Every structure is written in structure tokens, then in C-alpha cells.
Structure 1
Amino acid sequence: MEMEKGEKQWKPSNTFLQLKPDLEWDTIKAQLLEKISQALQPKIISYTDYDITWVVPCYQGSHMQLQTEDDYKFLLMHALKPKEPAVNIKIEVKLIKKRKTKSNDESGTKNQTDDSDSDDSDDSSDRCYKKAKKSKWECSKSGCSSSADHCFIHPGSSEHFPLSHNHFTVWAAAWHLPLLQQHISEWNQSQAAVNTPVINFNIPHEIFSIFCPPTATTTWIASPTKEAISTAKSTNHDLLLPTSASPGPHLTLNEFCLMYSLSNSVHQKLDENGYMTSNTITYIHISELKEMGFKHGEIAAMKDAVRQWAMV
């Protein structure tokens, strides 16, 4: 009934849906189509006939597309950040307008739809759809620091990130890495499992001096031994960023984890230990990651992220 009215007279239909985060993408689409069928009762229903977007309340200002499985994974990554996960999903019907032409009959007074122009109407709708997608990322912020025509607006804040072909190339290459696909699989498994808290104890050195009083020692200077030299070399080798590599661009912790698709567990452990920027991450040792409770797959993901960051 709403489709028979004018577009400005449409009234939205609100409902709710409770889903588990471990459901497959096909199951999510089926649940959404079921809700559409209950609200609109169309004769023929298809997921491609609707423009579906999502937004996380109080965490994200702009609507993001929900058309592919990658969009769904991106939704989960941001929806699980709040203590009480919730997502607002907006579903709109895609309209295809047909052009009308006047009849060649001189006595005719009504406008008739020209079926031969249906293909042109479809092409026009496609152009309008592409134009709407392109205009979504056009930067309209006055005094934008990026000075670019198109900007990527960070979902977690209002910060503008200038887009370029170099970024698309790096992101596309990183997305298809086998290590990243393994990391996504491990992240999905870790979300289903119960997270065990890690408690670290820092005991000051002064406490041991109570039980071991200082003794008189003879001051002497010795040349560095082979064991000391090998220890220094192993310490440099243990660095997350090798000394021969140059650091990449300065990024915040949120930007670093988002750009290289690091899990929320990795972000939380780095944040709890005071690592706030990419420059401080370069001084981390592999042994320190193990002390912070990093799993083997998470350590491999950190190595891969730092290697890509140093190459940008």
C-alpha cells in the first residue's frame, strides 16, 4: 500500500531482530528478507532490490553498505565494540523510473509508457546509482586538511582520510593475503570462545633487596664477552621492526589496527599496555608480545602488519 503513495508520503516501518554474531552471511540475508516479507509482503523478493545500510549508534555517524559478506564482517568488527552491541539497519526499495512519451495519435490525450525505452531507463538508473555512490565519498567539509576531492570518513570518529590509488592497491593486496584470511578465521573462533583474563604481576627490584642484603664487591671493568655480543644481537633480532627497516607513516592505534585488519583482541592488549601510536609499536620485542598474552597467530599478524606498514 505504501508503494502506491507518493515517495514523500511513505511511512517507515520499524521492527527489531536478535541475531548471534557467529551466523553465516547467507543466514543473515535470509533473516532480513523474512523481515522485509513480513513488512511489505512483495510478490517477488530479492536481496538486490533493496538498498541496505547500517550504523552503530553513538559510535559511527555515517551509514555503511550491507551488500556483501565483507560488508557483514566489517559490521561485526564495529558492532561488537560497545558493551551492549546494537546496530541500526535501514532498508530502502530501489526504484526504477520509466520515461513516458506522448502518443503519436492526434486524438490521444493521455501519456503512455514507452516499453521500448525500458533499457534506457535501466541504464539511467544505473548511472544515478553509481553517481550516488561516488558522491557519498566526496569531501564537502570546509577547510579539510587532506585537500582531496574524495575522503574516507573514519567510522569511529569524524576524521577525514584522503583516498588514493596507492591506498587501494595496498588494501587490496593485504586483503587477499593468506595470512590475513587465516587471521580472520582465528578471530571468528576467538569470538566464540570465552576470553580468559590475563593478569600480569610487576614486582619491584627493591623487594628482593630486603631478602638479599648487598655485599661488598670489587669494581672492575671487563671487555664484552662473546655471550654479551650474542645477547645484543639476539635482542635486535627480537624487535618487531628490524633495525634495517624504516618506520612507516605516523598512525594512531585505531588507524593502525583498522588499516591492517588487526582484531579487537590485539587492539585491546596494545591499548592496555600503553601503546597508542605506530611509532611506539616499533620498539616492541617479540618476547614482550608473549608476556602480554599474544597468541601465535596474533604475533604473526603483528609481524605482517608492521612489515606492510614499513613498506608504505
Structure 2
Amino acid sequence: MPSALDRALDKILGPVTEEDVADFEQQYGSGAQATAKKRTQGPGKNKAYGTPITYTISVFTPAQMKIDSGKRGGAKNTFLQLGSKEPWDTFTAQLLVKIDAILNPATIAFEDYTVTFSVPRIHTKPTDLTNDISYRFMVERALRGKDPSASITVEPKAHHKKRKHDSDKENNTDSSDGSDSDSDTQAKKSKKGKKKKDGKKKKTDPKELPGNAAHARELGALREKWLCHTPGCENKGSHCYISPVDSNHFALGHDHFNIWAAAILQGSDRATQMRPPLHPKFDAVNPGHPVGDQLPQVSTLQRRAAAQKAALALPAMTSSPTIHFHVPDMSKMFQPHHPPIPLPTDPAPGAAAPVVQTISDNPLLVPANAPIRPAIPLTNFATQYSFSINIQHTLEGEGFTSSNQLRLISLQELRDMGLKCGEIAVLQEAAGIHWAAV
């Protein structure tokens, strides 16, 4: 029964023909037994041998191919000598003989291996050896050297199985059963490995997150809405916000669009595509009175600054209350009692009426008599007192940048910003700790 190697050689070189037998008898005589094939010549051909070329063959095992290239270790080496005029089929047949001797695969075919070549000092870059053209190119490069030689590297492709010798397979059926069980075990391991790989969470692109996707949509809509086409505008072709009051153009940048889109996502009471948000970057275009269906556009800092300026214009009051003690006249203690003379209800002309200093009708977050503290950046202040992301973003969206600016905000204004009662309580607790009397 022909072996796997014989079948592979017959497939490459073709079966023995009558012409091959006649040539063999003419050359060696009829008494000699004809071999299955002339391994160095093609069918029916008798070409010159040519210049001998030495091929150094390095063969990697399938187990080595499963390891990283830097950790595989050395390959198994052998050599082969063929003439430069040997055909491609002969070269592949002889190469398969060498591979079979080293790896002993269950089936052998040239397509199961990745074969590359290089020629020392002439063609040093590894090049694929796949057909007659690449083979002739290798031979031509090898003949340029003083001692014609070439290096061949053979790497098994994936899913290439090994087996024992054919004789062992025919005589020992138990070994085949063992190999089947090994293959089943390997299949189970591969399935487990696939499950583990499939079980790993795939990293989500930040752009695909719902919040970022909605923000990106609003950004695109705003950029399309406020693209300036007005002739004569310095920003023509860019983006401008056109004031509905005086039709003035206000240049919009990346920061403006980011703040605007974030405010739109918080609700129509914060901003719309036609109305920018209450933010310091938009103070130049936010009028202090309603325009059409728009709300008064005055930021919180502007309102607080105006209220503080108005309060400073009022007469100053003493910070500590005045207490009067009335001691009766001891000389009149034992005299008959006379009813007290009622005091006039109207104040004396020219006397100034008492004025209560106030900044807002609602209580402030920080008491007015709280000691002065050094200003802290809002980000550090939020981290120090464990503010939630919503509290920090809301304050930053209203233009707050430092801790001392919180002294000017009232509790009602915090509610108007959309903060919840629990979030306002967090701010009150932080204010009570930070501005506590020393």
C-alpha cells in the first residue's frame, strides 16, 4: 500500500509511464528493477543536472507556531542539494521528503506549509516560495554567489495535525483511539477559550454612549443653524449668533457650542436653539429684558453683582446690635406713681428711617456675617466637600469659578438652577463647615 509521501509524489510528478520504464531500461539495463519514479527528473525528460545548489532547510513544528515568534526556540534543520536545472516539481517533492522526515504529518501537501527563502549576502529579505516563478528567481539569486546556496524556512499553517508512523497506525488501533480522545480534549479546550473570549466585555466607543450621541446631535444642529451667510460679516462662512434685538453678530467658537448643547440637553428652560444659555461666555448677547417668547437673559453672577452694588449704596448698618439698659431714678422710687407719658408715634422730622440691608428676599447660602475665607477654585472646593457631578456641572454652567462666589447666592436661586433639596442641603453643609467661625 503506497504511503502518504508516495501519493503526494505521484500527485506532483505524475504516475510512472511506459516511456519512463523504457528510458530506465535503456540507461541501466533490463535486469534492474525500475523504481517508482526518478526523483530528480520530470516525467519522460532527461535534462542536464546544472550547477549544484545547497539548500539549508529550517522546519518549525506546529507546537512552535502556537508560541510567540520571540519564544519559539530554534527550528529543526536539514539540508538538500539539487541541480540548478531541476524543475519546480522535483524541488517540491524533495522538500516534502525532508518535511515528512522531520514532522511526520498525517497528510502532507505543499499547500499546508508557508515556505520562504533567502540567499545569504545577495537576497537577505525572506520571500515567499510558492510557484515556479519564485523558484526560478531563487535559483537565479543563488547562482550569483561563489558557493551557490539558499536558506529555506518551513512553517506549518494553522490546524495542521500530527500523527504517528503509518506502521504504528496500522498495527496499533489503541493509539488512534487515544489521538481521538486528545483531539476531543483539545476541541473542548478551544470551546472554553472561545467562551472566555466571548464573555469579555467589549470596549464601547465613547461616541456611541447615549449622552455623548445626544450631545453630538445638538452640536451638529447648532452648527448648521448658526452658520453665517451674511454678506460683509467678518465671520462669513464660519458661525455667528445674530442678536434678535439689534441684529449684531457674535462669533461662536467650539466652547460656545459645547456649553450651548449641554444646556439644551438640560431642558428648554435652560436654552434652546434660538436662545443661548445663561453663561458668562454669552453675557455679551444676553439682554436684560424679554425678547418675544424669550425669558430675561441675565446670568446669576450679573444679578448678584448688581444687587451687591445696590446694597453698597445704602447707608451702612452696625454689624452688632445696640442694647439699652434703663435704670429707674432711685430718688423717685417712693414717690406716688404717675402714668408714663406716651411717646409720639411719628418720628421726629429729619430723622432717618432704619434701613434693613438685604441682598435677596431669600436667605443666602452663606450667612452675611460669616468670616472671610481665601478663595478656592470651584473644582477643588467640590472635591473637598464631595459634591456630586450634577452640583459641580450646574454651578460651572452658571459661571461660578471659586468658593467665595457662593457667598452671593441665595437658596431660592439654587432651586431655580434646578438643584434638588438634597443637593442644596449638601451645599449648606459645606458652607457651614467652610465658613464656620474660628
Scaled by the length of structure 2, the TM-score of the pair is 0.22
Give TM-score, length-normalised by structure 1.
0.29
Larger Rg: 1 or 2? 2
Greater fraction helix: 1
More contact order relative to length (CA 8 Å, sep ≥ 6): 1
